[in-house]
Amino acid sequence: MRDDREEAAAAFLAAHGFGAARREPLPSDASFRRYVRLRGGPVPALLMDAPPPEDVRPFLRVGRHIAGLGLSAPAVIAAEEAAGFLLLEDFGDATHAALLDSAAADPVALYAEAAEALAALHAAPPPPTGLPEWDSATMARLAAATFLDWWWPAAFGAPPAEEVRASFGAALRAMLAPFDGAGAFVHRDFFAANLMRLPDRDGPRRTGILDFQDAARGHPAYDLVSLVEDARRDVPEAARQAAVARYLALRGPALDREAFEAAMAACAAQRHLRVAALWVRLARRDAKPRYLVHAPRTWALLERALRHPATAPLAAFLEAHVPPALRGNPACLEAAA
């Protein structure tokens, strides 16, 4: 933290009884937020330090929604919204990612638990206001913002021509438009690193849900794809099948499974293409080349999605403009990867 930010954080902590707590910074992610574990305070807690351009208000709104459904989001102990400081309940260290990495949990059971929580999250109506739309137009625009603005110049040495931009946007919208209008709550980053196992809780509350500030209204298939086609880790096929089966069973017969699977394929294609290019942006703009290691997995997941007929518009665009040999980290970044 900068000295002035450190002073502001210290004042916030002191005002809420945590002035003497020992601070342990936690590993950072791809955002500007920082998390600090506080030991020796009145209760176990985390400090979220979210300086501009971060905004804690979406986190607070969505957290209230999740908790109101009886699901597990960290309780807010104290908040200073304008400054970007929150004191949060500490769920501990048992993220699903950590449990999987240490082989401390059965992947099949763990992914099924996560799917149970996700089904409960999607079964309820989303908040009536406050969530942006995660529709075909938005998804196409954000895919272009990584793939065309960052991956393409790195791969081809120049920005794409305007006709390429237009063709890409048309392909994404054509692929995703059939699934507009679902209007469900979408977490947008529902995967192992953002989930916690809380063994003292039962049912869907056993899964703690984190990092939900970017939630939106869209098709629920997007979240199930995020879970079972994780760009940062290999998901065993048995675990994938167990999670999808548990989710579909809990959502009930009203869910059209064939249409849902088509939506999963379309959402997967958009997500994997966008994220494969996001690794390039993180390397070039944010000096975080460590994420490039995930590109082979992400591109492989994209190729899997492109086998479904629902992804035909994007498959045709790539066939016309991006030879299979180029579908990976751009050559100029291979040394960094």
Q: What is the pLDDT of residues 156-206, one digit of tens each?
A: 999 999 999 999 999 999 999 999 999 999 999 999 999 999 999 999 999
Half-sphere exposure of 19 (CA within 13 A, CB side): 7
Give the pTM: 0.95
Per-residue pLDDT, 334: 74
Neighbours of 148 (CB within 10 A): 17
Q: Average model confidence (pLDDT) for the chain?
A: 96
Taking the mean position of all CA atoms in its chain, how far away is CA 226? 7
Half-sphere exposure of 310 (CA within 13 A, CB side): 20
Tens of pLDDT, residue by residue over 99-118, are 999 999 999 999 999 999 99
Q: 3-89 falls under which CATH superfamily?
A: Phosphorylase Kinase; domain 1 (3.30.200.20)
% of the chain beyond a pLDDT of 70:
98
Cα 322 to Cα 156: distance, rounded to the nearest angstrom: 10
Cα 320 to Cα 99: distance, rounded to the nearest angstrom: 42
pLDDT bucket at 336, cuts 50 / 70 / 90 = confident
Residue type, 325: A
Q: Which fold has domain 96-333?
A: Aminoglycoside 3'-phosphotransferase; Chain: A, domain 2 (3.90.1200)
Per-residue pLDDT, 2: 61
Contact of 51 with 5, CB cutoff 8 Å: yes
**Cα angle: 262, vertex 216, 203; to 5 degrees:** 80
Gyration radius (Cα) of the chain, Å: 20
Per-residue pLDDT, 254: 79
Is the pLDDT at 236 greater than 70? The verdict is yes
Cα 76 to Cα 86: distance, rounded to the nearest angstrom: 7
Tens of pLDDT, residue by residue over 242-285, are 999 999 999 998 799 999 999 999 999 999 999 999 999 999 99
Tens of pLDDT, residue by residue over 1-28, are 468 999 999 999 999 999 999 999 998 7
% of the chain beyond a pLDDT of 90:
94
Query: Range(s) for CATH 3.90.1200.10 in the chain?
Result: 96-333
Query: Range(s) for CATH 3.30.200.20 in the chain?
Result: 3-89
pLDDT bucket at 29, cuts 50 / 70 / 90 = low
Per-residue pLDDT, 1: 45
